Amino acid sequence: MTGPSPTTQVRALVQAGALDQAAAAAADLITEAFGRPVAGVELTLDEYSLNSVSGRVRFADGDLLFFKFHSEEGEEANVSEYYRAQLLADAGLPVELPLHLAGQPGRQIALYELRTEPRMADVCAGLERGDGRLPAGLAAARRALDRVTGEVALRTLRPGQAGSSPAIHQLFWRRLTDEAGRFPGGRYRAWYLNDPAYAGLADRRFVVNGVEYAQTLAEIAATAARLLDPAVLATGPAVTAHGDDHQGNLWVLSRPGGPELRLFDPAFAGSDLPALLAPVKATYHNVFAHPFWLYHPAEAARRINVQVAMGDGVIEVSHDAGLPPLRQDIADSIAGLVWAPLLRELARRGQLPPDWRATVRAALACCPLLVTSLLAAQRPEPIRYLGLACTVMAGSEPVDGEDAVSRLLDVVSPA
């Protein structure tokens, strides 16, 4: 394939604000992919779909469905199969099964039953704006999903295979490297190394709310490129998992017995996900990507007090974001029901790598750093520094003291 894929072109039009063109292009793509004339497309526009396009499609016969596809630069060379929902369902995970699939690389689209229920991300954002916690029923649904996710991970845990390169690497290592697998490349080079502002930040040490961190941004990125290399992770333990199960990919369904959470958009699912990567996206985005600084930077600038002081080789960032009770409840759930049993079992089998904590940190740091440019001009300057500080908090151990990330890792550590 030469040039941007059709799905990448649609996403680029959305990001450029050319929404009418994007809708028309999506309609043409869906018509071609499924052989069904499209009467119209209505795009979903929200902050959580940073690397995907979704919306409603009305076919000429009156059928109204939900569509979604994931697309980013360079992925066509690395991803051969998306939307493995049946595999997850067979493993026992509650997942929305698509009604129709188009699987050609660069043209991969899933069509789902149209739902009017909210996503978990929207529900939580509304609660957090009111300083609320998860209602009892929703908290129970959150724990139920984490429990089954942890159980499936343990039940499917197996040794990895040399040469295995699951699609989940698109979310981490492939965003750090070029098409030949050389670091630095990909989004890291495009968003940071090509930005003159980053040169003055990459090698400075961060002190965040009085806690000094051992690694710089440049060191964190280089460590991630080394530890998250698919060749390194391929021979480690693997599990069956969704892999991108942040709350933007969860429907909140009303049921007589209380809410039920259901996964959708399994673009990176598989039976061969590196065990230490599988829970990372849910952990970071559901717990640490708050309050609002990653997805709602303008709102974050109004809500969060951020102070920045530049010293000799040091950046001091003070903020009052904290970890709200709602996010702490989610942290406790995923820590106790997913991470802790998984790490204990790996340790029991003698399969827990000695550098597991550094590997998990490397992947956590990739979540904010590589999902969107933290230095983008539309992000208010204090929120740029807050985003970089949060990346360092994820990727580096503190020199002394502790924070929310180190506390979670301490809690789940089997040693």
388, 206 contact by CB (below 8 A): yes
Token digits for 299? Answer: 């709102």
64-70 and 52-59: which strand pairing?
Answer: antiparallel
Q: How distant is the alpha carbon of residue 25 from its chain centre?
A: 26
| Segment 68-97, tens digit of pLDDT | 887 666 555 444 455 689 999 999 999 999
* Alpha carbons 250 and 124: distance in angstroms, whole number: 11
How many C-beta atoms lie closer than 10 Å to residue 203's C-beta?
12
Nearest residue to 54 via CA among 100, 45, 62, 63: 45
3-state SS assignment for residue 4:
coil
Exposure string of 352-374, with b = 16+ CB inside 10 Å and e = fewer, is bbeebbbbbbbbbbbbbbbbbbb
Q: How distant is the alpha carbon of residue 29 from its chain centre?
A: 26
pLDDT confidence of residue 75: 55
Give 207-245 as a 3 state SS string: EECCEEECCCHHHHHHHHHHHCCHHHHCCCEEEEECCCC
Token digits for 113? Answer: 């039953």
Looking at residues 14-34, what average pLDDT do you find?
A: 92
Orientation angle between helical segments 136-156 and 325-334, nearest 10 degrees = 30
Quickly state the pLDDT bin for 2 (edges 50, 70, 90): low
Quickly state the pLDDT bin for 11 (edges 50, 70, 90): confident
Percent of the chain exceeding pLDDT 70 equals: 95
3-state SS assignment for residue 76:
helix
Token digits for 163? Answer: 């040469």
141 pLDDT higher than 60: yes
* Alpha carbons 157 and 339: distance in angstroms, whole number: 13
pLDDT confidence of residue 306: 98
Q: How distant is the alpha carbon of residue 252 from its chain centre?
A: 19
Torsion angle of alpha carbons 217, 343, 274, 179, nearest 10°?
10
pLDDT confidence of residue 1: 45
159 pLDDT higher than 50: yes
Which residues neighbour 354 within 8 Å (Cβ) at sequence distance 6 or greater? none
Quickly state the pLDDT bin for 50 (edges 50, 70, 90): low
Q: How far is CA 241 from CA 3, 150, 351, 361, 382, in A?
A: 32, 9, 18, 19, 36
184, 366 contact by CB (below 8 A): no
* Alpha carbons 243 and 259: distance in angstroms, whole number: 22
Tell me, what DSSP letter sits at residue 354?
T
pTM equals 0.91
109, 29 contact by CB (below 8 A): yes
